[in-house]
Amino acid sequence: MKLNELTQLTQPFGTTERMPVLFVGHGNPMNALEDNPFTRSLRQAGEQLRAKYPPQAILVVSAHWLTRGTFVNVAPRPETIHDFGGFPDALFAVQYPAPGAPELARETARLSTLIHETDDWGLDHGAWTILHHLFPGAEVPVYQLSIDYYQPMEYHLRLAQQLKVLRRKGVLIIGSGNIVHNLRQSMPRLMTGDHAAYDWATEFDAWTKQQLEKGDYESLTRYLELGTVGKLAVPTPDHYIPLLYSVGLADATDPLQQLYEEVAYGGISMRTFQLG
C-alpha cells in the first residue's frame, strides 16, 4: 500500500496539552541496572516529564521489534521481554510490570490502514531498560509500535507524521535506538573498556545533531549520502529508524533539548533528546 493511502480518523481525539517527543539512545541493556551519567540523565528527564507533562500513556518505537508490516501491541498486560543473551542473571530478573493501553493502541491502529493490531508482543529491552529509569514506578500504561523493516526510510518519517494527533491525546512517544550503532567495530573496545570514539562515529553523530538543530528532518532519511561515514555509522538501519519516528512526530515550532550526548565504546551514540 502506498504512503498516500494513509488515512486519519475523522472522529476527533480528546485533547490535552501537547506532549513532547523523546529519542533515547538506549545502548547496553546493562544500563537498566547501572548508575551512570546516562541513566541519571534519564531519571532527571523522567522527573521533569512527570512534573510538567504527566503522560496518560507511553508509546515506544523500539529498534528491537522488527516486523514485515507495521503492528501495534494491544495486549492489556505486556510481558517484560528479555530479548538478549550472555548477561548476568540480575538483568534477566528485572521486570517492568506496566499495564498496556489496549484501547489507545486500537485507536492508534485506526489512524492508518498501514497499522495492524497484535497481542503477540510485550515490552522489549529497547523499551523497559529506559522506562526503568524514566518511569521507575511502572505506573503509566505502555504499548509499542513495530518497525516494518522492509520499507524505505521515507515510509517511517511519513507514518510518524500521521501519528501526531497522539501528542494531543496525552501520549508520550519515545523512539528508542541509537543514532550510531556499529557493534562489530565497538565490541573490541567494549571488551577492553575503551570509550574512545571513532572519528566516523563522532562525525556522523555531529552531522545528525546539526540536522536536528536546523529542523532538517528530511535529510535524516538520506544518511547514506554521507558515503563511508554513513555506512559505518549505520551498517544496518534497525537502531536508526526510531530516530525517524521521533522527528517525524515533531513540528517546526518544537524546541530541541539535548538530554545526553556521548559516543560510547567507539561506535555507539547515546545521544538522547526531547522535542517539544
Paired residues of 142 in beta bridges: 58
Domain count for the chain, please give it.
1
Decide if 58 is inside a domain: yes
Query: Grid coordinates 507533562 are at which residue?
Result: 53
- Residue 169 inside a domain? The answer is yes
10 lies in some domain: no
User: Residue 193 region, left (φ>0) first, then alpha (ψ -120 to 50), else beta?
Assistant: left
Residue whose grid cell is 513540528 = 251
What is the Cα gyration radius of the chain?
Answer: 17
Among residues 210, 214, 202, which one has the least CA distance to residue 262? Answer: 202
Answer yes or no: is 11 within a domain: no
Spatial distance between the Cα atoms of 135 and 152, rounded to a whole number of angstroms: 32
* 7 assigned to some structural domain: no
pTM of this structure: 0.92
5 belongs to a structural domain: no
177 domain residue, yes or no: yes
pLDDT confidence of residue 3: 38
What's the farthest any 2 CA atoms get from each other in the chain? 56
Splitting the chain (276 residues) into consecutive groups of 10 residues, what average pLDDT does each group show?
A: 36 69 97 97 98 98 99 98 92 98 98 97 98 98 99 98 97 99 89 88 99 98 98 98 99 96 96 99
In a domain, 227, yes or no: yes
For position 193, what pLDDT does the model report? Answer: 78
Q: What's the rounded Cα separation, in Å, for the pair 261 and 50?
A: 22
Query: Which helix (H) or strand (E) covers residue 245, if one does?
Result: helix 241-248
Question: What is the dihedral sign for C-alpha 96, 143, 258, 149?
Answer: positive
Residues 6 or more apart in contact with residue 253 via CB below 8 angstroms: none
Task: Name the DSSP class of 14.
Answer: P
Spatial contact of 259 and 252, defined as CB atoms under 8 Å apart: no
What gap in Å lies between CA 174 and CA 163, rounded to an integer?
12
Domain that holds residue 158: 16-275
Q: What CATH number corresponds to the domain at position 78? A: 3.40.830.10
The pLDDT value given to residue 2: 35
